[in-house]
Amino acid sequence: MSSNKVQSSCEVGALLYNRSTITLTGAQKRWRRAYFSIHFSNTMSTIAKVANKRFPSIDRTDLTNLVERKDLNMLQKFNGVEGLAKSLHTTLENGIMSHDIEKRRTAFGSNTYEQPAQRGFFPFMMEAFRDTTILILLVCAILSLVFGFKDNGAKDGWYEAAGIFVMASLIITVSAVTNFKQEKQFDCFFKISNTIQIDAIREGRRQKISLFDVVVGDVIPLNIGDQVPADGVIINEHSLLIDESSVTGESDHIDINAIKNPFLFSGSKVADGHGQMLVLSVGMNTTWGKMMSSITGDCNEQTPIRSRINKLASLFAKVGLLAVILDCVISAIRYCTGYTKDKNGNWNYNGKCTDTNDILNSFTRAVVATTEGIPLAVILTLACCMKGMMFDQAMVRKPSACETMGAVTVICTDKTGTLTLNQMKVTNFWVGLDLIENNSAVDAKVLELYRQGVGLNTTGNVYKSVAGAAHEYCGSPTEKAILSWAVTELGMDIDKVKRNSTILDVKTFNSEKKRSGVSARKKEDESIHLHWKGAAEIVLAMCSNYCQKNGLIKSIDHEDKSRFEKLIQGMAAHSLRCIAFAHTQIPKDGTYKTLNEQGLTLLGIVGIKDPCRPGVREAVNACRSAGLSIKMITGDNVFTAKAIATECGILEAGQQVIEGEVIEGEEFQKYTEEERMKKVDSIRVMARSSPFDKLLMVQCLKKKGHVVAVTGHAIDDAPALKEADIGISMGIEGTEAARENSDLVILNGDFASVVLALMWGRCVQNNIQKFFQFQLTANVVALVINFVKAASAGGTPLMPVQLLLVNIIINTLGALALGTERPTKELMHEPPVARSAPLITNVMWRNLLTQSLFQIICQVSNKFNSRQLEKRNVFEGIHKSYLFLGIIGVTITLQVVMVEFLSNFADTEKLDPEHWGICIAIAALSLAIGWSVKMMPVPDTPMLNYIEGWI
């Protein structure tokens, strides 16, 4: 349909739908609405077809099949990559135009994945309803209703059953709401974690775009560590190796080249080399999309603390079961015999004096008093921790990270971007052995070699969109620093450099080689030039000659080499990263085979400064105060590493470094297993390290019983991040490989945020211990009182409905009050908590047992006691805990309402002001007891060991 016909149809439809032009009957109106609906649908379909006609020679299905089947024949039918680009209205050099993006989404889809529909609130209600405890309570409520009607009649016999039903419903609702909100929170976190920024070439310049904004026809640069964002074909490559294990399961790296295997799959990762790709399929049309469509985040991870709590709950369940068995036996005996005392104190048989509900109530009381509340406390505490960490720039990828952070004993940190700002700038420039302060003193030919070495041997680029605008630099921080220096100081025109040469071979930089090289043929005279750059001491070892600033070449003798080494050490001692440039030219009568790595000429060295982050020294000191050991692992040389470590506070300034505190990765590898295990604790800085060295150190530390945290952001950090007890990916701009193998993502990449995450981790266990102490005290008191009363005189002082009401106040409000308190600086003045340490410490047992002996009814004062496990001043900082104070007010209000206004429902007696005063005074004594008992010493052996042995 032509655009004129579309317009004509739209006008007819609008005319028919215009109410002001004609008066219609009801039937005519219905026909008019039906016509409009059909017309609108047809029009939208036509618009979509018009959009698709923008790419008449290509189809979405063909593009999908091309990559999925790796069909080289089909690729030839499209006339190769150039033909595909032409059909997709893109250019391989400049990419797509921004105004085409929406049309491409319409024609080929967006780079998003369809996730299964999220569960609503009702499924969470059903899950909570299926809980064993809830089912038992409901059965008890039904039985209570039957016995209540039998003993008390229809008028009063339903109170207790109704109370149990109401309390069970409240527990179900609270649990469902909490779990529902938790899943929503996880969904939010995973959306943030999936918002990945990548590079794309659009309108002739490299831009940062979201992974989800990639469209068919985009030209995407690929470098080491990058994730392939969509399915496509390679445009150009240099030593490109792809890790397809996440897609195919094969661990071997795949060699990608334009002739034999040009196909790239979404989700795979660049293991080595670099190149550019043309996007052909996105989103659900990719291989990765079909896999991701059935994957959702798992928010039900069984964390270590939950496992420990389950073990503890099992122990208390045994105690509760023992109590309920004895209680039931005693009640059954009383019911069967009916023996009670008369007014004169004589025993006689009177069946009417025995309540048929006693057996049922004894069972219900045990269920209520021992099993509810603990899971709720854990959920609330972890949810609060995750939200707090997010506010402090730490995004939790795995819930177990919240608690594991509290047990960390060693942090193995990288340097660049974590301890430093990763804002690099060239500050020193040496040609040969001369420090250059004025470039005019350097021979023009030498400067030209520098321009070639920088412009050709780089994975970055320089853009200048309009005349007069500032240059834009892309690439790694080191590449951007060198490019900026070459443009501003040396007058390099990178486009001109690339036009004048044809690249023949490329050796890409990686953490093992620590150098990169390129060979290129100059179009002017067909001469072949080799350029290398990399770590200064490594490039120096490849050179036999060096270039002086006047352009003369001099052989490097032993004395010259020593002077160069001292020069590099001196720059490194001032926290400079030293990058050396080397060059050689292939004789015209020679034959080029590969990049030479020996007999080169050293052009010179540049020193790059990367300032330390503000506050990093204070963060390192805070870790030390918390009993943590900090180890810096970096690829820089020993002198640079020592300088940065001293500046950050990892090494003490002005003190002699002890032997073994600073080593190189190669030295660590040469140690025997016994030597490594003996010396690993004393190591504080590891320089010139490889990914294997970092992994080896983590393994050694774990064998020694340490809980190890590792920070990193590069693909080479992924093995150590995965091996560590907790992997911390630094910065959202880090590689996808690092994020996928991490438990936490520090969004701002700042080491100080790692310290905040440590505080939150310690806060998790501390808050759960507070709740345990508070709840167990109440439950022990309730069980003991009911058991003693049933065993001694029959009957029960606390009915199930009363226990349920108290339990809701204790469990729900107590968990909310104690489980959501924020971390304090005092937490960082204590040593790490071992993962094997008991959840209930001897300090808690001391507090719990003494309070249990005293308390019978009111728990409000004990909630204040539970705020501090060891400190005697339980009111410290309470004016800042608004939530805690609010919950105390709600707790008191509920108790007053239950006693004064729900006497029939809760089976309570109203109190006059005098009795209220007595209750408050007696309850307040709990504060005095809590203050005095904290002076009592506790043994080192966990008391739970004796209980478990007895049970």
Which are the catalytic amino acids? 414
Angle CA(523)–CA(525)–CA(526) in degrees, nearest 5?
Answer: 65
- Helix H or strand E encompassing 201: strand 197-202
Amino acid identity of 297? G
Strands (E), 227-327: 231-243, 254-255, 263-264, 269-281
Facing residues of 420 across strands?
A: 612
CA distance 917 to 419: 59
Residues 480-495 as b/e (b if ≥16 CB within 10 A, e otherwise) read bbbbbbbbeebebebe
Q: Say if residues 622 and 755 touch (Cβ distance below 8 Å).
A: yes
Look-up of token digits 């080191």: 478
Task: Return phi, psi of residue 298, to 5°.
Answer: -100, 110
Task: Return phi, psi of residue 601, to 5°.
Answer: -110, 125
Task: Estimate the share of the chain in helix, then strand, then coil, as percent rounded to the nearest 5.
Answer: 50, 15, 30
CA-closest candidate to residue 685, choices 717, 663, 716: 663
CA-closest candidate to residue 115, choices 47, 64, 183, 59: 183
> Cα 340 vs. chain centroid, distance in angstroms?
65
- Helix H or strand E encompassing 656: none
Q: What's the CA dihedral at 801, 806, 812, 814 to 10 degrees?
A: -170
Q: Would you state the structure tokens that stand for residue 930, as one six-digit string?
A: 């809590």
Q: Say if residues 200 and 209 touch (Cβ distance below 8 Å).
A: yes
Three-class HEC string of 756-774: HHHHHHHHHHHHHHHHHHH
CA 362 vs CA 137, 150, 381, 634, 919: distances in Å: 12, 18, 32, 64, 26
CA distance 705 to 409: 9
Q: Helix 132-156 vs helix 800-808: angle between axes, to the nearest 10 degrees?
A: 130
Look-up of token digits 């190591």: 683
Helix (H, G, I), strand (E, B) or coil at 54: coil
- DSSP for 880-940 reads G-HHHHHHHHHHHHHHHHHHHT-HHHHT-----HHHHHHHHHHHHHHHHHHHHHTTS---S
DSSP assigned state of 688: S
CA distance 253 to 557: 42
Helix ranges, 793-881 (H) = 800-808, 814-819, 842-854, 860-865
CA 5 vs CA 8, 43, 47, 771, 827: distances in Å: 5, 10, 12, 72, 74
Look-up of token digits 């609130």: 121
Contacts of 132 (CB under 8 A, 6+ apart): none
Q: Say if residues 100 and 88 touch (Cβ distance below 8 Å).
A: no
Amino acid identity of 314? S
CA-closest candidate to residue 569, choices 687, 659, 419: 687
Q: Say if residues 380 and 181 touch (Cβ distance below 8 Å).
A: no
